[in-house]
Amino acid sequence: MSLESREKNGKVSLRRSQRVSEIVEKFRKQYPNTERKALRKLILLQHKGINVRTLDRHLEKAFKRNALEQDTALEQKAPSLPDRRVSLWDRLQQRLLAVGAPLIDLKIEKLELGDERDPITGWYETIYDKLLPVQGIIILKGAKELEAAASLHVPKEYLGFLLTQGNIEDGDRFLWRGKRYVIQEVEEVINGYEVGYRIAKLVHRYNQPPVLA
C-alpha cells in the first residue's frame, strides 16, 4: 500500500471515529439515564453500518468521563468534614463564643485539707492558700442560649457550670463578679485518650463529705 493510500485510509478512519463519537454524544444527551448496554443496542439499531469496535471504544470513554464528572459533582456538593485536628474544647469555645460567651480569666483557690478534723462533723480543716490561674467559660443557671450551645442543662441544685481545661477539683473555689463560687463536683469530658475539658458544677458552699472515724 502506498503512502498516499495509507494517509487516505487514516483520514477516513479518523473521520469515521469522529462520526461515531458524535453519535455516542448525541444518544447520551437524548437518553441521559440509559445504561451503557441499552444505549449500545439503540445505536446499533439506528446505525446498522457502524463499526462495533469503534462504537464500544467511544462508549467506554463516554461512560468513564461521565462517572468522573458525577464523582466530582458529589465531592463539590458534599459538606466539608470538620478538621479532626480541632479539639472538642476548641469546638465548644467556638459554639459558645458565637452566642456571646468568651473565655474568662479566673484565679482558682485550690483546696487542701488540714490534719485536724471537726469533732462533731468529722470534716477536715479546709485551707485555701494556693492560686491556680485558668481560663474557662461560665454558664449560669437559666442561661438557655448558652446551655443549648454547650448541649448542657444546669440542674436546679447548682448555680451553674464552669467549663475549663484547667486542673480543677472538688472543693476548689473562685471569685467572679463579686460572688464566690465553690466547685462541688467535676465531670471530665474525654477526647480520644485524653481529657478534652472539665465541667465543674458550682455551689455557694462546699459540702465536704464527712470522714468516718
Taking only the tens place, the pLDDT of each residue in 65-94 is 766 655 555 455 545 545 556 789 999 999
Percent above pLDDT 90 for the chain? 40
Strand-pairing partners, residue 113, are 126
Has residue 101 been placed in a domain? Answer: yes
CA separation, residue 177 to residues 34, 104, 118 (Å)? 70, 11, 32
Total domain count for the chain? Answer: 2
66 lies in the same domain as 100: no
Same domain flag for 107 and 9: no
167 and 106 within one domain:
yes
Is 128 part of any domain?
yes
Same domain, 188 and 118: yes
Give the pLDDT confidence score for residue 59 in this predicted structure: 82
Sorting pLDDT into bands at 50, 70 and 90, what band is 11? Answer: very low
Same domain, 129 and 175: yes
Residue 59 sits in the same domain as residue 12 = yes
What's the pLDDT at 68?
63
Mean pLDDT (the chain, rounded): 81
Sequence-ordered alpha helix ranges (H) in the chain = 3-30, 36-46, 52-77, 88-98, 144-150
Residues above pLDDT 70, as percent of the chain: 79
Residue 14's pLDDT band (cuts 50, 70, 90): low
* Amino acid (one-letter) located at 69: E
What is the per-residue pLDDT across 100-110, written as a single tens digit (0 to 9) for each? 898 999 999 99
Domain that holds residue 179: 88-203
Least confident segment among 42-56, 98-112, 144-158, 180-194: 42-56
CB atoms within 10 A of CB 91: 14
64 and 140, same domain (yes or no): no
Do 94 and 188 lie in one domain? The reply is yes
